[in-house]
């Protein structure tokens, strides 16, 4: 890294199984949409010899963004694995979507990787969502490096972007974010923009010229020496500050020349432990060129500076019953512990699972135990079954290249695991284990759907089941109160992809309908009602009369039934029948068809007949009495109120609070949080926050996130209730 001039392509284009975890590097690419992650992956694959000069694999197709939806939407919507070989190492490049709606795919990539490349555009800068992702990586101690792309843009500024990155990512130590190379500019164009044609290695003090399409090494000219010296001295001081040798800084400041080997070793250690974050530059290869600018340097950093899987502690492992289990990190000979990080459906192969092996060795045709994953609230059932592993392969675009095995530290695609879903653990059949799942974002945008036709209705359940099996960030709800099928998504783009997959992949056409919240009814004041059910038709008749009193109760009291009948006016055996009737009517509602809550219903009096009274008759009389009491009273429509917590940058606290107030929200408190952010707590009617997942992103420029939980039901303002009834006459 920095001292190598290796320009050979690796053993590219082959499907290889790693022989030892030390030869594997798992790297996830992170950055906002449009920053150039996919282009960078293809440039690295070209330099490594895995694709031809057109960016295609040997028998056609690109290595990433090969899904039909990605082609149509012109953006990544799913995690893609591109394995390449370089200098004897197997590098698993994990390309992630940059759009916030697909953060679940990103977190799966973080789970599978051991280091992260943050891709930032020299023309666009660092947005709020990228800063938040940096903090997520910092929280788990993941090593990171920064790659500046779009150097060909007239607005590009590598030096300025390096300063922006140091401010955004360096925290209290901006010298922890420094460039390893400086761009070499060619002759200026008429518009004044000078293209980047090469790089200057600050440690080696060598020039790497890419202008011919091949990386060529040369000595820098005297005019470049002052710039190199200033940047190099700062880089050396930054590396030495992170050195484990505490005498090194004193020796350096005392005038001693630190040898290159020591500097490179200290740099590699600092990068691997996540305390130093080098900045590099990269650009795709020009037409006809074999290497993109900076790609060799980047591959050298990955192989020489990023940690091996051996250096990553294994996630917490237990038995399915919850007993702790010690598992040695990344031991190919240890017990099998692997995790499904992505699930996809192939029309020809069926379900395909992308698996990261943390311990042991996974082999084709073996029988494994599948333990699932605690997401039953999202429509994912827990699993505890045995399954036979199908073929193992290395994905490469649409291709699947066969593997003979997959050792600890490596990734592979596994066919025909029909029960396994994303987040499930694979272990030995006779030694079942369960890994602690990674944190999934909570989907907060509701999408109410219904089958378009009877034929679609027959296929809907199976299609939805397969959809949520692929995507654990999606929650499927069968709402018993509103009788709606609701897909909870992370945003509009996430919802669009879900609908398109239902339609094109699973052949299910659905219609989107307005989402309904679970409204309730209650009495505004006391009332009485008399239920009379008397019928005589020549045979056995029906006779039941009951008189009730209804009074409101405090919030959360539910339905309380009280018997105060005296003198046997209603025989003892029919008291439960009256209660059953009024509770059934309360569940149906008394005015608008919403369940009645928070009332006490007291049975005061009634009449019975020795022959014609029955259980059914008194049930009917009880329901009639409650409906009559409602006609004589004012009924409030109750709406659910949510407790909402918004974590937002201090710059956007004002707009967020103003927006909450415009939604009839009540801010109940604020408190300072780490990283220059504020936690805003509010109570907001749920009917007002159906699209809050989308709107908050706009208000906060993507810097805020929120969560919500049900608080209570409370009376809806009359004008809102009237408007709701106009929109839905059924209310």
**Which residues fall within 8 angstroms of residue 15, CB to CB, at 6 or more apart?**
83, 393, 394, 396, 401, 402, 403
Q: Name the band, by pLDDT with cuts 50, 70 and 90, for residue 82.
A: very high
Distance CA 491, CA 101 (A): 5
Bridge partners (DSSP) of residue 345 are 351
The strand order across the sheet containing 399-403 reads 384-388, 367-371, 425-428, 337-346, 350-359, 411-415, 392-396, 399-403
- Look up residue 712 and give its two tokens: 């209570």
The DSSP bridge pattern shows strands 542-552 and 559-563 to be unpaired
Assigned CATH for 317-435: 2.40.30.10
Judged against a pLDDT cut of 90, whether residue 178 lies above it is answered with: yes
Do 345 and 334 meet the contact criterion of CB atoms below 8 Å apart?
no
581 and 619 Cβ atoms separated by less than 8 Å: yes
Asked if domains 445-513 and 637-727 share a fold, the reply is yes
Q: How far is CA 153 from CA 40, 124, 158, 444, in A?
A: 15, 10, 11, 37
Mean pLDDT of 105-130: 89
End-to-end CA distance of the chain: 69
41 near 84, Cβ under 8 Å? no
> Does residue 702 register a pLDDT over 90?
no
Of the options 3.30.230.10, 2.40.50.100, 3.30.360.10, 3.40.228.10, the CATH number for the domain spanning 520-633: 3.30.230.10
Question: What is the C-alpha to C-alpha distance for residues 10 and 50, in angstroms, rounded to an integer?
Answer: 8
User: Rounded mean pLDDT of 696-700?
Assistant: 92
What average pLDDT does the segment 534-563 reach? 89
Say if residue 340's pLDDT is above 60: yes
Say whether pLDDT at 579 is over 80.
yes
DSSP for 124-151, written as a single string: TB--HHHHHHHHHHHHTT--EEEEEE-T
Burial group, residue 367, by CB count within 10 angstroms (0-12, 13-18, 19+): exposed
- Would you call 401 helix, strand, or coil by DSSP? strand
Quote the pLDDT of residue 544.
94
Q: Which of 32-46, 182-196, 343-357, 597-611 has the lowest mean pLDDT?
A: 182-196
Least confident piece of the model among 83-87, 92-96, 241-245, 619-623:
241-245
Confidence band for 380, pLDDT divided at 50, 70 and 90: low
pLDDT over 60 at 1, yes or no = no
Residue range 21-181+275-311 in CATH 3.40.50.300: yes
Burial of 348 from C-beta contacts in 10 A (0-12 / 13-18 / 19+): exposed
Residue of higher predicted confidence among 83 and 221: 83
Instruction: Categorize the per-residue pLDDT at 53 as very low, low, confident or very high, splitting at 50, 70 and 90.
Output: low
Lowest mean pLDDT among 367-381, 590-604, 686-700: 367-381
Of 62-71, 230-239, 537-546, the poorest mean pLDDT is in 62-71
| DSSP symbols for 623-688 | HHHHHHHHHTS-EEEEEEEEEEEEEEEGGGHHHHHHHHHHTT-EEEEEEEETTTEEEEEEEEEGGG
Domain ranges of the chain: 21-181+275-311, 317-435, 445-513, 520-633, 637-727
The tens digit of pLDDT for each residue in 466-500 reads: 888 888 889 999 988 889 999 999 999 999 999 99
- Does the structure show a pLDDT above 70 at 9? no
Model confidence at 565, in pLDDT bands (50, 70, 90)? very high
Q: Mean pLDDT, to the nearest integer, of 212-233? A: 86
Higher-confidence position of 638 and 191: 638
pLDDT score of 582: 96
Mean pLDDT of the chain: 87
Lowest-pLDDT range of 51-60, 129-138, 350-359:
51-60
Domain 445-513 CATH (choose: 3.30.70.870, 3.30.930.10, 1.20.1050.10, 3.40.50.740): 3.30.70.870
Structure confidence at residue 350 (pLDDT): 77
Q: Which residue has the higher pLDDT, 346 or 221?
A: 221
For 637-727, CATH number out of 3.40.50.1820, 3.30.470.20, 3.40.50.720, 3.30.70.240 equals: 3.30.70.240
Name the pLDDT band for 98 (thresholds 50, 70, 90): confident
Cα(424)–Cα(385) distance, integer angstroms: 11
Six token digits for residue 102: 């697909």
């Amino acid at each position: 890294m920095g001292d190598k001039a290796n320009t050979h392509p690796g053993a590219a284009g082959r499907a290889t199984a790693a022989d030892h975890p030390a030869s594997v590097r798992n790297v996830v690419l992170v950055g906002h949409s449009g920053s150039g992650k996919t282009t960078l992956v293809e440039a690295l694959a070209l330099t490594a010899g895995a694709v031809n000069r057109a960016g295609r694999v040997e028998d056609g197709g690109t290595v990433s963004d090969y899904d039909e939806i990605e082609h149509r939407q012109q953006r990544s919507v799913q995690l893609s694995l591109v394995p390449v070989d370089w200098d004897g190492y197997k590098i698993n490049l994990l390309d992630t979507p940059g759009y916030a709606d697909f953060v679940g795919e990103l977190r799966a990539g973080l789970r599978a990787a051991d280091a992260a490349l943050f891709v930032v555009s020299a023309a666009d800068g660092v947005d709020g969502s990228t800063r938040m992702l940096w903090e997520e990586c910092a929280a788990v101690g993941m090593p990171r490096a920064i790659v500046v792309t779009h150097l060909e843009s007239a607005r590009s500024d590598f030096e300025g972007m390096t300063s922006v990155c140091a401010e955004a990512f360096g925290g209290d130590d901006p010298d922890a974010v420094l460039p390893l190379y400086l761009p070499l500019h060619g002759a200026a164009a008429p518009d004044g923009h000078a293209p980047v044609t090469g790089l200057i290695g600050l440690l080696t003090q060598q020039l790497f010229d890419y202008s011919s399409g091949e990386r060529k090494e040369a000595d820098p000219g005297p005019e470049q020496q002052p710039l190199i010296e200033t940047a190099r001295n700062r880089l050396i001081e930054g590396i030495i500050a992170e050195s484990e040798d505490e005498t090194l800084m004193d020796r350096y400041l005392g005038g001693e020349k630190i040898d290159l080997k020591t500097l490179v070793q200290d740099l590699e250690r600092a990068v691997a432990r996540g305390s130093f974050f080098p900045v590099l530059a990269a650009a795709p290869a020009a037409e006809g060129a074999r290497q993109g600018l900076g790609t060799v340097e980047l591959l050298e950093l990955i192989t020489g500076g990023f940690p091996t899987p051996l250096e990553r502690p294994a996630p917490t492992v237990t038995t399915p019953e919850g007993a702790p289990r010690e598992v040695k990190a990344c031991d190919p000979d240890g017990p099998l512990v692997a995790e499904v990080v992505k699930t996809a459906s192939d029309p020809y192969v069926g379900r395909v699972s992308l698996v990261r092996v943390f311990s042991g060795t996974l082999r084709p045709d073996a029988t494994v135990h599948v333990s699932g994953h605690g997401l039953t609230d999202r429509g994912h059932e827990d699993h505890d079954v045995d399954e036979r592993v199908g073929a193992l392969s290395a994905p490469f675009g649409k291709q699947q290249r066969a593997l003979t095995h997959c050792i600890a530290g490596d990734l592979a695609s596994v066919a025909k695991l029909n029960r396994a879903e994303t987040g499930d653990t694979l272990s030995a059949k006779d030694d079942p284990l369960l890994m602690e799942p990674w944190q999934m974002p909570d989907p907060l945008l509701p999408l109410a759907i219904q089958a378009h036709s009877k034929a679609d209705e027959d296929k809907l359940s199976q299609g939805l089941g397969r959809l949520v099996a692929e995507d654990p960030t999606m929650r499927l709800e069968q709402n018993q109160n509103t009788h709606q099928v609701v897909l909870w998504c992370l945003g509009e783009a996430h919802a669009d992809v879900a609908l398109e997959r239902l339609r094109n992949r699973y052949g299910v056409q659905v219609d989107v309908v307005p989402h309904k919240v679970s409204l309730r009814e209650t009495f505004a004041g006391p009332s009485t009602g008399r239920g009379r059910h008397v019928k005589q038709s020549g045979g056995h008749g029906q006779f039941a009369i009951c008189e009730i009193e209804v009074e409101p109760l405090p919030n959360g009291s539910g339905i309380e039934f009280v018997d105060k009948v005296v003198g046997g006016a209603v025989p003892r055996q029919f008291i439960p029948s009256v209660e059953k009737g009024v509770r059934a009517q309360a569940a149906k509602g008394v005015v608008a068809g919403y369940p009645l809550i928070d009332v006490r219903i007291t049975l005061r009096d009634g009449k019975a007949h020795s022959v014609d009274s029955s259980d059914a008759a008194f049930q009917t009389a009880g329901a009639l009495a409650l409906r009559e009491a409602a006609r004589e009273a004012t009924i409030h429509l109750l709406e659910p109120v949510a407790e909402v917590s918004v974590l937002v940058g201090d710059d956007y606290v004002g707009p967020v609070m103003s927006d909450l107030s415009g939604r009839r929200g009540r801010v109940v408190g604020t408190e300072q949080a780490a990283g220059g952010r504020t936690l805003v707590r509010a109570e907001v009617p749920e009917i007002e926050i159906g699209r809050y997942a989308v709107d908050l992103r706009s208000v906060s420029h993507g810097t805020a996130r929120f969560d919500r939980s049900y608080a209570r039901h409370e009376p809806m303002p009359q004008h809102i209730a009237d408007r709701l009834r106009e929109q839905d006459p059924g209310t």
